[in-house]
Structure 1
């Protein structure tokens, strides 16, 4: 007899076999709702080539659109991620309001395929999750690859990465800096000066 409790226990946290951006986009192609790739993969989509390995793939959606995205990702189970806990979300269960991260498990392989992030804002307005006063039109902050994959603008990705300064974040900043237009450097520098005064990236952006 099948042990349902074991089946619904999450895979190991390291059991990542992430979709590529193209694979993710193919699964979401029927949706006309706003979403975009974020994190390190967003930067590589901007570069037009993969510059480093990625253990996962992150993409953002609006909270009200979650049911539609869950329906589009067939063959997938969903788990809320909060404060180090990974909890199964039943098909008809809404995540708590303070849950902003949902991991997507492919049932057939029992591996994690994507990290679905819930963002604030509206279909037309992008809002920085850590400081809602930082916002812009979604058209301004989300670009698309030649084959139509939406990704978050590099300056916004780097603003998220500035908080942690992990080796991969430093590498991502180093790869992006020479290509950033002056107006984007100024945008990122001004936000870092407010959020993280004295941040080591500020002088490089001058």
Structure 2
């Protein structure tokens, strides 16, 4: 039985996305880096420090990813609470985050996000009517690291608008092409009517 005391919520020493990709090499199920690191993989440079690393998988594929991360202790995370999952336990319905603890190093290494799309279709969890073919929403770096498209990352960031989200949006905006801007504007207008970022994403002709 694991008798180690619980890890503090801020005990993060996250992997680099390259480490995650190495550990997931050979897994056939879809996954991709999300959050701020996904934007930096798109930029091709680390633009700011990252306190954590997030990646997303399909909820149904959780056992497959757990099997390739045997040295990590998995914890469900929801509403500010974090609790360990038993050896063969799956996260409860409605829980979309699994924090992965490196028991030996006494730190969190990665945040596994559970999504309800399909291998073919990416679905925005806050509004399932927003969906696109997964092949359009997941990209690869030259090293083969999968990451979520920048317009989708920014759609997630639009909800909270923390300082880092505002900085990420300002940094990404000049690099977005017209199609990416149009999609992001339409989705923000649907999910967050009146959002301040809409002024920076003017309507243009297709």
Cα shift readout 1:113-141 (whole Å, capped 9, x = no counterpart): 00000011001110000000000000000
Secondary structure, counterpart of 2:187 in structure 1: helix
Give the corresponding residue for 2:190: 194
Give the corresponding residue for 1:178: 174
- From 102, 105, 119, give the equivalent of 1:123: 119
Within 2, Cα distance between the matches of 1:20 and 1:167?
A: 22
The answer to whether structure 1 residue 205 and structure 2 residue 188 are counterparts is no
Within 1, Cα distance between the matches of 2:6 and 2:145?
A: 29
With normalisation by structure 1, the TM-score equals: 0.96
Calculate the aligned-residue CA RMSD, in Å.
0.9
Give the corresponding residue for 1:150: 146
Runs of 4+ residues over 2 Å off in structure 1: none
- Figure out how many residues of one structure are paired with residues of the other and give that number: 202
Unaligned runs of at least 5 residues, structure 2: none
Within 2, Cα distance between the matches of 1:117 and 1:185?
A: 25
- From 18, 27, 32, give the equivalent of 2:28: 32
Give the corresponding residue for 1:109: 105
Give the corresponding residue for 1:12: 8
Unaligned runs of at least 5 residues, structure 1: none
Give the corresponding residue for 2:65: 69
Within 1, Cα distance between the matches of 2:94 and 2:179?
A: 34
Give the corresponding residue for 2:81: 85
Secondary structure, counterpart of 2:197 in structure 1: coil
With 91-100 and 143-152 compared, the bigger mean Cα shift is at 91-100
Within 1, Cα distance between the matches of 2:2 and 2:105?
A: 17
Cα shift readout 1:80-102 (whole Å, capped 9, x = no counterpart): 00122111101111111111100
With normalisation by structure 2, the TM-score equals: 0.96
Secondary structure, counterpart of 1:61 in structure 2: strand
Within 1, Cα distance between the matches of 2:6 and 2:108?
A: 9
Query: Is this contact kept in 2: 1:10–1:79, CA < 8 A?
Result: no
